[in-house]
Structure 1
């Protein structure tokens, strides 16, 4: 097993009111199409989002017109944000930057070569021989998949320390003049943010201390025939959202089998799980998770709180939900399941355990 010893989110700028964002963004997306503008505002009201953080002031998105410009902003603003989240996580963990042996970086809202994690080496003071693994394409499942892959690394390197860095500036993918329903939904659902987790292998001295959960196991799944339900269409204007209205139905039909399989491998059932850490994919996704797993009322409160406060942060979302879950308190000896969905359609599940005190 590995042990998560700290997690820290970071956000750009102040929280901005969803209604105020809608009024500024709507003309950029829908132009003179009054019907589309009305639909967009209604979708924003029903998104479950009250406030969001944005990489830019809302009025500045009128000037972001092409992919190159948006990606330059992603690299400059995003690297600063990822550095802030990483510094906070390391401080919470009591870990000095040179102690880090492995960095997994995941993002799906911008690209760079060298990637953002390379820039973090010098900024944070990581060792020049630190092992790095940048990832693109996991989408909203990146935080869950990242935890699983860091756990895999630490299983083979039990004395090591690792960072998982999730960075998403979803607002920079805004498509001017795109009135496709998926684009209208996305323009009100996603927020900007970063989150960093610090984990250690089970032979590391910090593995026996602290209040963070152990990572016990993981499971990955690709659902056949769903490749066109979620992802990006990449073109000259950048990343255009692919988001099917059928996605909640996929979750509702398929998730239970995967969760049951992960839990059964460790002698558990859904009723044994005290904490559900689910990426804030939107109200319909959260409702589908609750229905598929027959969860009690309140089981997804941390996810709904995250959605309301900061929107869907894509890969960083599940770490923000984990941070909220931890700050709310978790009974010692509790098992938990962390899960997220991404392009494919894929599901990534991680089994957690908060050890008993002492």
Structure 2
């Protein structure tokens, strides 16, 4: 049924790079990188505790860990840009093939990545490689970090409200591992190595009239909500400096999201006369096990409601913007009962919140 102002998710897909490592293998790589430092940032015992508490069991990388030694940031960024393009093209091609949709049917290509900065944006090369129409509309979103996948859904939904006949493809490809070795190993870097993995996520969405024509079965987007938390921009992010990309990750992120989540979710649900008790599916970005714990506590819901997110974190780590699409992929294939409402949410630098209210048809 045509529902003005809505859009629908037709497909979510996440592709993982070929190299998979468990904690023991990742710890060995971190210790190798630290051994080259004049002042090691932490002891072997602390490294093991950090990895044990991360909630991650395995993660994937685009390059073998043995190749991630000291090298120039220029070389690493060039490798990263090429890998982002190649993996994005392969993932989009796979998603369209699964939907039996030719590339020339795509009306909008939306892209986001925090690991590639260039002009022209990578979307031009992705569109060319896929054989998209030359008049395809493009949204090259600014880096949104861990909120990237959820922001992608939100901005595509905004577009669809004015273009109900359009078909859109969104891709978020973040490959943090490639930057390892381009700057000194710090305690922050060790924490990142315990948490993050590489991944490429694709979302295919349709405007209301297009969705009705193709009889999509994925969740509909009823509404979206974006916000940021003033005074927290220093807590997580990255800066381009002389020796490459310097990341920063401050304590207290979980506490900040625990405090912010109830207001953000409450505002979105109140627009529709809903409360948390009306939500049957919770899809939360798996930033870390502690972040998931904090958000569940802030919303006063059972942490088991985030079980899909905990499982995704354990299997692939935090894939930055792609992780929320991995959670969506796992939920959407689990035979969600018709009419179920869901909240999809992710948190990123800013600190920012990106939410969508979903309903399965």
So what's the TM-score if we normalise by structure 1? Answer: 0.94
1:99 aligns with 2:109: no
Cα distance, 1:267–1:171 mapped onto 2, change above 3 Å: same
Equivalent in the alignment of 1:8: 13
Whether 2:47 is the aligned partner of 1:48: answer no
* 1:354 paired residue among 346, 350, 360: 360
- Which of these residues, 114, 133, 149, is aligned with residue 139 of structure 2? 133
Answering whether residue 343 of structure 2 is matched by residue 337 of structure 1, we say yes
Structure 1 residue ranges without an equivalent (≥5): none
Q: State whether structure 2 residue 41 is matched by structure 1 residue 58.
A: no
- What is aligned with 2:297? 291
Task: State the match for 2:230 in structure 1.
Answer: 224
User: Is the 2:183–2:243 contact (alpha carbons within 8 Å) kept by the matching residues of 1?
Assistant: no
Matched, 1:309 2:324: no
**Counterpart Cα distance in 2 of 1:247 and 1:315:** 17
Which of 222, 241, 245 aligns to 1:239? It is 245
Q: CA deviation at 1:298?
A: 1.8
DSSP 3-state at the match of 2:56? coil
Q: Per the alignment, do residues 34 and 2 of structure 1 end up closer, same or farther by CA in structure 2, a change over 3 Å counting?
A: closer
SS in 2 for 1:112: coil
Q: Specify the alignment match of 2:45 in structure 1.
A: 38
Return the alpha-carbon distance in structure 2 between the equivalents of residues 296 and 99 of structure 1: 42
Shift of 1:323: 0.3
- Matches of residues 246-325 of structure 1 in structure 2 within 5 Å? 246-325=252-331
Q: Cα deviations across residues 158-187 of structure 1 (Å, max 9, x unaligned)?
A: 000111110000112325664533222112
Q: Matched residues in 2 for 1:244 and 1:206: separation? A: 46
1:70 Cα deviation from its structure 2 partner: 1.1
Do the aligned residues in 2 keep the contact of 1:79 with 1:120 (CA within 8 Å)? yes
1:270-324 deviations in Å (ceiling 9; x for gaps): 1111111111100111001110111224211111111111110111110011001
Larger mean CA deviation between 234-243 and 330-339 belongs to 234-243
Q: CA RMSD, aligned part only? A: 1.6
CA distance in 2, matches of 1:99, 1:208: 13
User: Kindly tell me: are residues 94 and 51 of structure 1, through their superposed partners in 2, closer, same or farther at Cα, counting changes over 3 Å?
Assistant: same
Q: CA deviation at 1:11?
A: 1.2
Counterpart contact for 2:183–2:246, Cα < 8 Å: no
Number of paired residues?
Answer: 354
Of residues 156-165 and 65-74 in structure 1, the stretch that sits farther from structure 2 once superposed is 65-74
Matched ranges for 1:101-120 at <5 A: 101-120=107-126
Unaligned runs of 5+ in 2: 1-5
Which of 145, 164, 171 pairs up with 1:165?
Answer: 171
TM-score w.r.t. structure 2 length?
0.94
Deviation at 1:38, TM superposition (A): 3.3
State whether residues 26 and 193 of structure 2, in contact with CA within 8 Å, keep that contact through their aligned partners in structure 1: no
Aligned-residue offset at 1:237: 2.6
Which whole-Å deviations, capped at 9, do the CAs of 1:246-288 have from their partners, x for residues lacking one?
Answer: 1101011111011011001012111111111111100111001
Q: Equivalents in 2 of 1:314, 1:202: separation in Å?
A: 29
Residue 26 (1) aligns with residue 31 (2) = yes
Distance 1:91 1:228, change over 3 A: same
Secondary structure of 1:203 counterpart? helix
CA distance in 2, matches of 1:30, 1:108: 28
- Whole-Å Cα distance in 1 between the matches of residues 98 and 231 of structure 2? 42
Are 2:224 and 2:357, in contact at CA under 8 Å, matched by a contact in 1?
A: yes
